[in-house]
A and B are shown apart, each in its own frame.
Chain A
């Protein structure tokens, strides 16, 4: 009996060890699983901030170096269903001041979008499946600006690489939906805090279209790293856009009621 128990113990431990070993082994051997794990870990690491507000200054440059500036604010709220509520408030140019855009991102579903036009005093629900729209004529699209949901891509770990003196993992992600402008993205993230330092975007025919580089991060609440300045360069048309972030405020007095259609009118 003892022997039997002993055997059972050994077998089960052996099995456990085998499972543990093989899973780690498989993980490092199977780039798809490893890619997915990194993406999942990133999302987990970034979750729990509750809400934040920040300012954005967008500087658009054409290929001759001419510049144009836009100013906006963004409010983000984590929602219970692990989706997000995002509110954009446009400040500059002057003619669009007070225009607000509300996005409810629903995991596994299409986003809901509402826009409030102060000149019309109307809230309109925007029925467009386009994720690839240029954000205010910049080189950023809406899909570039938001940390993507894990489920919207498939992943593949490519390699480790030193990027600007940081040890990074390089993974490739391929969008699941055909609404994306991209065929794939290659992402550089550091190993210490899952911060994203560079993304290369490839268009539908597989050509390198754009590169996002993040130059600066700051930590908030001793945990959350937020980009301070990110630049998107379009290699095809020679244009680029820089977004400078400032005045981050975490865990302010925000709740679901600040992210509804009716709240759009009140937002300042």
Chain B
């Protein structure tokens, strides 16, 4: 028997090393996610928005010096050699145009910076500071920071490509920092975020797993006070985790920060089952029962409750399949699988182990549950106080839910321990926002982008966007058009406006395209039919995703009302992310309600009482609501984690209620009065539930060590919920039972 199990575990475990990690942040989205589809269409029309932003800040002085400009020029040239780079933009290679008599000069703004004269430096500074195409985008207003933007088109194997690009960039930054100590360098952009996604997964796998494991072993030892018990529980946890992750490996599951949580959640949940059994076993031994009988007895008494709680937990995790975010499907399925594996091992491997392992227990008859007996007395005595106070506290706490704001900013997914985050923060504060709104404005006809009427509408929209306080910078093709019109009219400033004739605009564009060097073409701003143009509005620093969505909606509305022919969906990387939680909440809501209904039904059947069944709803539902309330009061913002937390928490805390109410029902059936039944329940399950609560809370709190926002929020919220569930079961549920269950 033991051998068979070991064999199965062994075979599956071989799959563990097959697990890979992904850096593809789009795994968070369902393929039919509407925002993602619009965005993909947008990327097909223009260019993939895989960008890296390398910010350069001279330690002394501004960028308008020979040294600084030479440095920027060098980095710009080197950027072309980054793997998969297709386009590089900086103040150095900015395609400056000016006219002299009938000559039109078009070329990079900075060339051979080391040999620039003071006059030329001043000229460059003047051009930059008056250019709406450079300031706030490639150069900061105060001249302290400049950016080199690198665009990438990645091949099929994105994961490998992202690693290659980011390794190259990180090396470039490190070697450059050493060679040029006079400059600070900051690296951010979507592609760096993707890399961080990978790094965070790896960090979570390498830090969370050992820490959770350690916490489990230490806690089990403290709570069980038995080496043998601890060894048995540890072996079981290792077995479960190997089965689960082994299967994941065989099924070629690719890990991301979300699914990285599977192993830790499974470990934490697996421990709960075995702790119940080992506790009973040890208790049986202490009363003097023979070893084999003690094991049998422990299995017998725990079989039904553990089976039910495992099934309800698995059921709750399976509802994650309704999530709009595919990694949660994987998470839900594998945790559900893990929970069932833990259940199976608890009734096979665990008893086998316990019978093999030597054990020495002092027989004792001391009442260990004194604390819970006293607690029961207190609860019974103060039931109305507790009930009233409880309702007030619950009410006040839950009011915090209304203060909750959903936010999903991709720049804030990772905390300050990641260089990506600190660099992004620096760039956002000192140069340019990283969140942006993208629009594809379609003229409806081939060659229509140079239609004067269309250009004026685009210009109006750009002007409207610039007036919005959320917007920091607007990048639009009409600025290029105005500049060309001025160039073609002897650089006279009064001609810095859109041309008045469509043919002229079209000819300007043709001319300009002849002058644009490789990799600096208009393909990222105009589609191949020259029928549509892209407008990019960059957000001010510190926008929440609600504010970002709100401006996106407002812009759509403005277009609808003012230029309905240009009406389009707001899109972009930022927008896709900002809708993530919202979509997920919508999809999870129904699923969570269905799961709750199913689980409540199971409880109803198990408890064989409609009334008690309905009462059970309260301690099942209230803790999650309380957690959101607490979060609303203390933190205020919640992201993706919030959308799946309820379903997960529900499956876990329902176990407490099941154990509590089934013992209470048992007591009532034997003819005990409600207060006596409460006392009996407290004595019987108090300690076991306390143990599992401590294990679960401590296990989940370890998640908060993660630098990935979704993971640490989820861990912290689950931890709070588990504790609140325990409090609700022992301080609020009993007074409620005493008040309602008065018969007999």
List residues of A (119-136) whose CB comes within 8 Å of B's CBs: 119-120, 122-130, 132-136
Complex interface bits, B72-88 against A, C-beta within 8 A gives 1, otherwise 0? 00000000111111100
Set of chain B residues within 8 Å of A119, measured between Cβ atoms: 501, 503-504, 506-507
- In the complex, how many residues of chain B place their beta carbon closer than 8 angstroms to a beta carbon of chain A? 47
Set of chain A residues within 8 Å of B103, measured between Cβ atoms: 124-125, 127
- Bound together, the chains give a CA A62 to CA B47 distance in angstroms of 10
B-contacting 9-mer, from A41-49, A89-97, A251-259: A89-97
Q: How far is the CB of A112 from chain B (nearest CB, A)?
A: 11
A-contacting 9-mer, from B120-128, B285-293, B404-412, B526-534: B526-534
Q: How far is the CB of B522 from chain A (nearest CB, A)?
A: 7
* Complex A-B, nearest 5 residue pairs according to Cβ-Cβ distance, in ascending order: A181-B518, A95-B506, A132-B518, A119-B504, A93-B447
- Bound together, the chains give a CA A236 to CA B156 distance in angstroms of 11
Which residue among A67, A94, A119, A132 has the maximum number of chain B CB atoms within 10 Å of its CB? Answer: A119
B550 at the interface (CB under 8 A from A): no
Q: By the criterion CB–CB under 8 Å, are B522 and A124 in contact?
A: no
Which residue among B104, B447, B526, B528 has the maximum number of chain A CB atoms within 10 Å of its CB? Answer: B528
A205 at the interface (CB under 8 A from B): yes
Set of chain A residues within 8 Å of B385, measured between Cβ atoms: none
Set of chain A residues within 8 Å of B507, measured between Cβ atoms: 95-96, 99, 117-120
25 interchain pairs (CB within 8 A)? A60-B528, A66-B527, A67-B528, A93-B506, A93-B530, A95-B447, A95-B450, A96-B503, A118-B503, A119-B503, A120-B488, A122-B488, A127-B103, A128-B107, A130-B514, A130-B515, A130-B516, A133-B513, A133-B518, A134-B521, A137-B528, A137-B530, A205-B83, A236-B86, A237-B86
Set of chain A residues within 8 Å of B81, measured between Cβ atoms: 204-205
B17 at the interface (CB under 8 A from A): no
- Bound together, the chains give a CA A118 to CA B503 distance in angstroms of 8
- Bound together, the chains give a CA A128 to CA B507 distance in angstroms of 17
Q: By the criterion CB–CB under 8 Å, are B104 and A64 in contact?
A: no
Name the CB-closest residue of A to B103: A125
- Bound together, the chains give a CA A68 to CA B532 distance in angstroms of 13
- Bound together, the chains give a CA A118 to CA B511 distance in angstroms of 12
Complex interface bits, B210-254 against A, C-beta within 8 A gives 1, otherwise 0? 000000000000000000000000000000000000000000000
B389 at the interface (CB under 8 A from A): no
Q: By the criterion CB–CB under 8 Å, are B44 and A62 in contact?
A: yes
Q: By the criterion CB–CB under 8 Å, are B80 and A237 in contact?
A: no
Q: By the criterion CB–CB under 8 Å, are A115 and B518 in contact?
A: no
Q: By the criterion CB–CB under 8 Å, are A61 and B514 in contact?
A: no
B45 at the interface (CB under 8 A from A): yes
Question: Which of B447, B517, B530 is the one whose CB lies under 8 Å from A130?
Answer: B517
Q: How far is the CB of A87 from chain B (nearest CB, A)?
A: 14
Which residue among B506, B508, B521 has the maximum number of chain A CB atoms within 10 Å of its CB? Answer: B506
B523 at the interface (CB under 8 A from A): yes
Question: Which of A95, A115, A237 is the one whose CB lies under 8 Å from B523?
Answer: A237
List residues of A (231-260) whose CB comes within 8 Å of B's CBs: 236-237, 239
- In the complex, how many residues of chain A place their beta carbon closer than 8 angstroms to a beta carbon of chain B? 47
Name the CB-closest residue of B to A101: B514
A164 at the interface (CB under 8 A from B): no
Q: By the criterion CB–CB under 8 Å, are A68 and B518 in contact?
A: no
Q: By the criterion CB–CB under 8 Å, are A134 and B516 in contact?
A: yes
List residues of A (28-79) whose CB comes within 8 Å of B's CBs: 60-64, 66-68
- Bound together, the chains give a CA A168 to CA B513 distance in angstroms of 35
Q: By the criterion CB–CB under 8 Å, are B514 and A126 in contact?
A: yes
How many residue pairs bridge A and B at CB < 8 Å?
A: 143
Query: Measuring CB to CB, which residues of chain A are less than 8 angstroms from any residue of chain B?
Result: 60-64, 66-68, 90, 93-97, 99, 101, 113, 115, 117-120, 122-130, 132-137, 141-142, 179, 181, 204-205, 207, 236-237, 239
Q: By the criterion CB–CB under 8 Å, are A123 and B102 in contact?
A: yes
Q: How far is the CB of A124 from chain B (nearest CB, A)?
A: 5
Set of chain A residues within 8 Å of B45, measured between Cβ atoms: 62
- Bound together, the chains give a CA A115 to CA B97 distance in angstroms of 15
Contact A66-B528, Cβ < 8 Å, known A95-B503, A127-B104, A205-B80: yes
Q: How far is the CB of B42 from chain A (nearest CB, A)?
A: 12
Q: By the criterion CB–CB under 8 Å, are B447 and A137 in contact?
A: no
Name the CB-closest residue of A to B47: A237
- Bound together, the chains give a CA A209 to CA B158 distance in angstroms of 18
B446 at the interface (CB under 8 A from A): yes
Q: By the criterion CB–CB under 8 Å, are A136 and B528 in contact?
A: no
- Bound together, the chains give a CA A96 to CA B376 distance in angstroms of 89
B519 at the interface (CB under 8 A from A): yes
Q: By the criterion CB–CB under 8 Å, are A68 and B530 in contact?
A: yes
Contact A133-B521, Cβ < 8 Å, known A96-B506, A237-B153: yes
- Bound together, the chains give a CA A130 to CA B478 distance in angstroms of 23
Q: By the criterion CB–CB under 8 Å, are A127 and B105 in contact?
A: yes
Q: By the criterion CB–CB under 8 Å, are B513 and A127 in contact?
A: no
Name the CB-closest residue of A to B106: A128
Set of chain B residues within 8 Å of A124, measured between Cβ atoms: 99, 102-104, 488, 511
Contact A115-B514, Cβ < 8 Å, known A127-B105, A128-B107, A237-B86: yes
Q: A68-B528, A125-B103 are in contact. List 4 more A-B contacts (CB 8 A).
A: A118-B507, A126-B106, A130-B514, A205-B83
B60 at the interface (CB under 8 A from A): no
Complex interface bits, B58-101 against A, C-beta within 8 A gives 1, otherwise 0? 00000000000000000000001111111000000000000100
Q: By the criterion CB–CB under 8 Å, are A66 and B503 in contact?
A: no
B366 at the interface (CB under 8 A from A): no
Q: By the criterion CB–CB under 8 Å, are A141 and B518 in contact?
A: yes
Which residue among B103, B515, B518 has the maximum number of chain A CB atoms within 10 Å of its CB? Answer: B518
- Bound together, the chains give a CA A133 to CA B446 distance in angstroms of 22
Question: Which of A93, A96, A181, A207 is the one whose CB lies under 8 Å from B519?
Answer: A181
Name the CB-closest residue of B to A68: B529
- Bound together, the chains give a CA A61 to CA B80 distance in angstroms of 25
Set of chain B residues within 8 Å of A62, measured between Cβ atoms: 44-45, 527-528
- Bound together, the chains give a CA A207 to CA B517 distance in angstroms of 18
B510 at the interface (CB under 8 A from A): yes
Complex interface bits, B543-566 against A, C-beta within 8 A gives 1, otherwise 0? 000000000000000000000000
